[in-house]
Structure 1
Amino acid sequence: MRKKLWIHSLSGMILLSVFFGLTSSSSAEEPVTMSGNPIFTSIFTADPSAHVWNDGRIYVYPSHDIFPSRGSDLMDKYHVFSSDNMVDWVDEGQILSAADVPWGRSEGGFMWAPDAAYKNGTYYFYFPHPSGTDWNNTWKIGVATSNKPASDFTVQGYIQGLPGNSFIDPAVFRDDDGSYYLYAGGGGRSYGVKLGADMMSLDGPLKEFTELNDFHEASWVFKRNGIYYLMYSDNNPGANKMRYATSSNPLGPWVNRGVILDPVIGSETTHGSIVEFKGNWYMFYHNAKISSNGTLRSVSVDRLYFNADGTIQKVIQTTDGVPAVGPRSRATEVKYYDLVQENFSQYTQKTEYALNANNVVIGGGATRSGSNVESMHNSGSYIQLSGINGGSGGKALLTVLYASADSGAAFKVDASGDTAGDGYFLGLPGTGGWGNYTGRANRLIDLNAGSNNIIKLSGGMGGANVSKVIVSLIPASSQETEYLVTGSNVSFGGGATRSGSSIENLHIPGSYFQATGINGGSGGQALLTVVYGSADSQAAIRIRSSGDTSGNGYSLTLPGTGSWSTYNGSASRLIDLNPGSNNVIRIEGGSGGANITRILVKLNP
């Protein structure tokens, strides 16, 4: 893969939720897959808290910067991300929001850096949230619990007996003896305390760590080889650094050891966590590389190394991230590195949408000038396109052609297939003039199957005049998929039986078998082929499929093959399927015998 430098014009191609493989190579024989940085690109995230639970996955519990940018004070929900190999990350979804907190401030917001812990079959999620309008004096450390690491959390209350002023950024540490400790603080004051057995009460007095050098916020504690480590953010003007201290006791006193992470890209704040996973140590942190906006941050990860005496080497922030520590697996997050490389060559089925067409609606102060839409700098302005073809559903490449005299603008993109509902960030670097339509910004979005998708571009974040929108799909091929009748997606009845690799006794009236989970691509006609053996001179079956609106089904004749076990019979016919992968094909017998071993479905025949 050809490397090239990151340039500002690529900053608008982000916040994606699909994974591509990135393969670099230290040698021709040993390809290495890298995570790329940032690692979470589907939504904006910050303050990552990383943990490894007993299921062998690593989980990250970050805060969530809301887009369009509303400032850190209005953060109001949490997602969880997980991986089994450090490069393929899954957004497990939203687990908590301000609306779920019964004792929280009525105005919402202020869901800042969280943490998590596990004890005796229960996962504990700790989050800071004020209980009153006077937010900085009414902070509480809330506790939600679940029997799952990434879903079904219920708020149980908050920890009593803690300061209300600037008491934020909880971190929970489990010691080797099974005891748990809570660390938190902000505004220059750092605290620690032992937790009670219920994980929601205090077992001892709160201790303030006045010995720490320039403490600001973002506590994180871990232990290695008998040494306790406390990492935190300092007050370095304009760009905080991460520092750390060590101790022989979980509540100090602490010995200051220096800076562990230099200021990050684009963000005044810094916050992170350190964890061991599959024999390697990692630091998770955030930056504003995607957005160039310090209130729209993204989580990154790099390796962390110890010296022989237990001190920590300063972490080097990289674009490549970290290598895989296991085979490739399912992911929802696109690798940022891939985005930089502009790997969009497979999206060749292009549809151009002119902005003066009847499927385009504008509003909120946006205006139409000839074939262009202008005044998208107005708050509430938007362009909405309907009737967008999403093919078989999934990822599509959105391209916006535009002009802008601003140094940089952004759109929020909403699309029908966005299940998270957060929208997508599209940066629009300046082109040098309102009439200079040389701007071209891309980003991957999610669309539903079929031609009823809607795409909405919302402005109000700098100005851009838009001339055209292009949606590109990966072309559907004449793909043939084989479905064996031995699969778990096949059921049968009415006298039909399964014998080895075939369905038999289809001569019986009422006999049938059906296969679920059939992919219909973008919908429409597909070629069904039935592979069978038959000692009858001729048999017939009736086929019913999800896309058959007539309800009559389809008839298919099966000439004899000379033997019930001579499976060289093949008969085909066109049927109709719905878009997507939830089609059902049912084959009904009763008119002569045939043993069927598999069916094949060819799309776009």
Structure 2
Amino acid sequence: MGLRSILAVAALAALGAPVVAQDKPGTAPGSNPLFRERFTADPAPLVVGDTLYLYVGHDEARGKEMFTMREWLVYSTKDMRHWTDHGPIMKPTDFKWAIKDAWASQVIERDGKFYLYATVRHDDTHKGNAIGVAVSDSPTGPFVDARGSALITDEMTLPSNHPWSDIDPTIFIDDDGTPWLAWGNGNCYLAPLKPNMIELDGPIRDITPPHFEEAPWLHKRGDLYYLTYASLDRKTHKNERISYATAPSIEGPWTPRGVLTGSGRNSFTIHPGIAEFKGDWYLFLHNALLSIGDQKGAIGRRAVTVEHLQYNPDGTMRPVSQTEAGVTAPPPAN
């Protein structure tokens, strides 16, 4: 999620007990929004064996506040219908050099350990936002600072247009074992990491695709690499959409493929997360349609959703419609 990106809605988080199944779309287990007891945003899926873990930010804004986010949460599912709430896994100040802002994160597994890459606000020793990396022996945490300092700071990508240039990390391990980190707001940056997962192992490159706003997500299917991201064509749209590009290599060249799905309803921001789980592909995102008590969906009160994701024979992704039914409905016919 980005500060420059400004609007989004709410999501509630189902606790451990499954929701009572009903036939009506929007209320059956697995329908959207996925979590209805708290506002959530910036979904990042991770598959471990027969379980999908979903890491989210916790929107706690009140009234007209923008982004008030104090912790990261994780949920898990074995069937994409019923979700278990594992509660908070970390807060920004667990990084001793950070002061606030539990913005977008992603977790990846390597050699039996789980690494969380997260956006936070740095203390006054570095300006603006930064990216930290934490580690745990379990996908449900607790996570602890893996290096004692930020992995990415604002000075590393100068000249930057604003102090939230370095946000929204996505992590991907290539077939040769090389970890790659992408991130950014306004510009999309890419850099390799060392095998230890906590140090850069090469120069930072700018791979910004058309209308890139923020929230990159890297994945691979077959021989194609995918860079999916929140896009904003300010001449034609006022809210972010999700677009993507493909490449034959993680280092490019990247070919723009256009819009994957439109804006999240009632939300300026949107944030993709993509995973294959038990033979099917899913696109996670957020909108701002959830209300909890007297708090309606808004820029700082968003709700995580999920939809089926399908591919054409040439590897391009089919446009995704955002629905209330979500994965409780079968995938659209070819």
2:293: which partner in 1? Answer: none
If each structure's strand is expressed as a fraction of its own residues, which one has the higher value?
1
Corresponding residue pairs, total:
300
Are residue 198 (structure 1) and residue 191 (structure 2) matched? no
Give the unaligned 5+ runs of structure 1. 1-11, 26-32, 326-605
Distance in 1 between the 2:230 and 2:125 partners?
A: 24
CA contact (8 A) 1:34 1:322 kept: no
Which structure carries more relative contact order (alpha carbon 8 Å, separation 6+)? Answer: 2
Q: Distance in 1 between matches of 2:125 and 2:241?
A: 29
Contact 2:30-2:328 within 8 A present in 1 as well: yes
1-structure distance, mates of 2:323, 2:329: 15
Q: Cα gap change, 1:15/1:53 in structure 2, threshold over 3 Å: closer, same or farther?
A: closer
The AA in structure 2 aligned to 1:202 is L
Alignment of 1:308-387 (within 5 A): 308-323=313-328
Ranges in structure 2 where 5+ consecutive residues have no aligned partner: 1-9, 291-295
Match for 2:315: what amino acid? G
2:311 pairs, out of 306, 310, 315, with: 306
Look up the match of 1:42.
37
Q: 1:15 to 1:79 in 2, by over 3 A?
A: closer
> How has the CA–CA distance of structure 1 residues 257 and 224 changed in structure 2, closer, same or farther, with 3 Å as cutoff?
same
After superposition, the Cα gap between the structure-2 partners of 1:297 and 1:139, relative to the gap in structure 1 and judged at 3 Å, is same
TM-score (norm 2): 0.84
Aligned-partner SS, 2:93: helix
Match of 2:134 in 1: 144
* In 1, Cα distance between equivalents of 2:73 and 2:214: 22
Give the superposition deviation at 1:129. 1.2
2:85 is matched with which residue? 91
1:283-336 Cα offsets, whole Å, 9 max, x none, are 0000111133221001000101101111111111111111399xxxxxxxxxxx
1:99 deviates by: 2.7
* 1:178 partner letter: G
Give per-residue Cα distances to partners, 1:150-191, cap 9 Å, x unaligned.
1221112321574374110000011122221000010x1011
Give the conservation status (yes or no) of the 8 Å contact 1:86–1:324: no
Against the structure 1 CA distance between its residues 69 and 179, is the aligned structure 2 distance closer, same or farther, given a 3 Å change threshold? farther
User: Measured at CA, do residues 69 and 251 of structure 1 come closer, stay the same or move farther in structure 2, by a change above 3 Å?
Assistant: farther
Give the SS at the match of 1:189.
coil
Structure 1: distance between partners of 2:122 and 2:91: 14
Mapped to 1, the partners of 2:46 and 2:329 lie a distance apart of: 17
Write the mapping of 1:334-483 to structure 2, written as runs, cut at 5 A: none
Deviation string, structure 1 residues 84-135 (Cα, Å, up to 9, x no partner): 0001011111011123220013xx2x22110111111110011011213598
**Structure 1 residue 22: deviation in Å?**
1.9
Residues 36-185 of structure 1 aligned to structure 2 (within 5 Å):
36-54=31-49, 56-69=50-63, 71-105=65-99, 108=100, 110-132=101-123, 137-156=127-146, 157=148, 158-159=150-151, 162-163=156-157, 165=163, 166-185=165-184
Q: Any idea what SS the aligned residue of 1:216 has?
A: strand
Out of 221, 224, 228, the residue aligned to residue 224 of structure 1 is 221
Q: Contact conserved, 2:152 with 2:166, CA < 8 A, in 1?
A: no
Indicate the RMSD between aligned Cα atoms, in angstroms: 2.4
Give the number of the structure whose alpha-carbon radius of gyration is greater: 1
Question: For residue 215 of structure 1, what is the aligned residue in structure 2?
Answer: 212
Whole-angstrom CA distance in 1 between matches of 2:297 and 2:152: 39
- Residue 20 of structure 2 is aligned to residue 21 of structure 1: yes
Give 2:169's aligned amino acid: P
State how far apart, in whole Å, the 2-side matches of 1:77 and 1:70 are.
20
Amino acid at match of 1:201: E
- Report percent identity of matched pairs: 34
Structure 1 residues 34 and 322, CA gap change in structure 2 (3 angstroms): farther
Look up the SS of the partner of 2:184 in the other structure: strand
Task: Give the secondary structure class of the aligned counterpart of 1:36.
Answer: coil
The question of whether the paired residues in 2 share the 8 Å contact of 1:65 and 1:72 is answered with no
